[in-house]
Amino acid sequence: MQNKKTSKRESRLPGAEKEQLKDSLRDLIADAERYDYGDFRAIKRSAATLRLLFYDTERQTSLISNLNDKDRIIMQSFNTKVKHDRSMSYGSVYVACFKTNKPDEFYNTFLFMPDSKRTTTFEKWWNESLFFMKDSSHDTRLTRSKIITTIANQDGGAHFDKRIDSLYKNLMNGNTGVSIEPGLGADYLLGYDSSVINHSVHFKDLALAYMREIVHESILSLQNYYGLNSILYKPNFNFNWSRKTNYMAWQFGLERE
C-alpha cells in the first residue's frame, strides 16, 4: 500500500498579489455601486474583501502586508475628525429617511456624503474613531477596524455568528445613540408626517453608512497608491441623497455639559 502524499503549499507566481489586488478593487466597486442605487445591505459583503486587504493576525497576513506596503501606503480619509470634547459625534454621516413599500412605514438610517479630504498613515486610518459617545462611566468608540472585522466575522460579511458584538448590534438597531419623539418639530427633521407613528424614531444601520465611507476611501487610496485608475470607479452619492424624505441634511452631535 502506498502512502498518500500530503498537500503542501507552494510559492505563488510573481504578480499574483497584484492580480488579487485588482480583483478586490473590482469587488469593492461592485458593492459600492449596488449601495449607491439603494441596495444598502450589499455593502456588508465588502467587509470580507477589506479584511483580506488589511487585516493581520497570527494566522492571517493581509494582502498589503504581503506586498510589504502596510507601513508605506497613504490612506485617504473623508471623515470629519471626531470631536472628543463632545458627548457624541457621528463623524461624516447624515440622517436619511426613506419611504418603504409598506403604508406609513419609513426606513430611518444614515448616509455618508464625502466632504473635506485628508491623508494619513494606514495605522491611524485603521484605528480612527468614526463614532464617539461619552457617558459618565466610559467612552464608546467605533473604529474602521471594529466595523470591518465585526461585519466580516460575525454579521454576514464572511461569517454569520449567533452571538454578535453588543455595541455593533445596538448601533445597527438604533438602540445606542439619539432617537426622536414624534411631533415637536420631528416632521421638519424627518421629512414626513410623524403623527402616523406612535413610537420613538430610531435611526438604524449606522455601520452600513460607515462601511460605504470605508469602501470609498479604500478604493481611492488603492487606486492612487498602486496606479490602478484604469479600473473605473464612478460613485453616485446623489441618487440616495436625492430620494430621502428629509430634504435638509443634518447630523447628530451633542456638546458636553
What's residue 5's pLDDT?
54
Q: Distance between terminal CA atoms of the chain? A: 79
Q: Under 8 Å CB-to-CB from 208, ≥6 apart: which residues?
A: 35, 40, 41, 43, 44, 109, 110
Is the pLDDT reported for residue 7 higher than 80? no
In contact, 198 and 229? CB cutoff 8 Å? no
The mean per-residue pLDDT over the stretch 230-245 comes to: 96
Q: Under 8 Å CB-to-CB from 89, ≥6 apart: which residues?
A: 82, 83, 131, 132, 133, 253
Distance, CA of 247 to CA of 122 (rounded, Å): 35
What's residue 35's pLDDT?
97
What's residue 11's pLDDT?
41
Treating both helix axes as pointing N-terminal to C-terminal, what angle do 166-173 and 206-226 enclose, rounded to 10 degrees? Answer: 110
Which of 11-15, 33-37, 100-104 has the weakest average pLDDT? Answer: 11-15
Q: What is the pTM of this model?
A: 0.87
Residue showing cell 430621502: 244
3-class DSSP state of 254: strand
What's residue 110's pLDDT?
92
The mean per-residue pLDDT over the stretch 39-46 comes to: 94
Is the pLDDT reported for residue 230 higher than 70? yes
Q: In terms of pLDDT, which residue wins out, 97 or 250?
A: 97
Q: How many CB atoms lie within 10 A of CB 87?
A: 15
pLDDT digits (tens, 9 = 90+) for 135-189: 656 677 889 999 999 998 887 444 454 566 666 676 667 666 677 877 767 787 8
Nearest one of 80, 141, 71, 114 to 217, comparing CA atoms? 114
Q: Where are the domains of the chain?
A: 16-252
Q: How many CB atoms lie within 10 A of CB 107?
A: 16
Band (pLDDT 50/70/90 cuts) for residue 82 is low
Which of 7-11, 98-102, 179-183, 241-245 has the weakest average pLDDT? Answer: 7-11
Buried b (16+ CB within 10 A) or exposed e, 126-141: bebbbbbbbeeeeebb
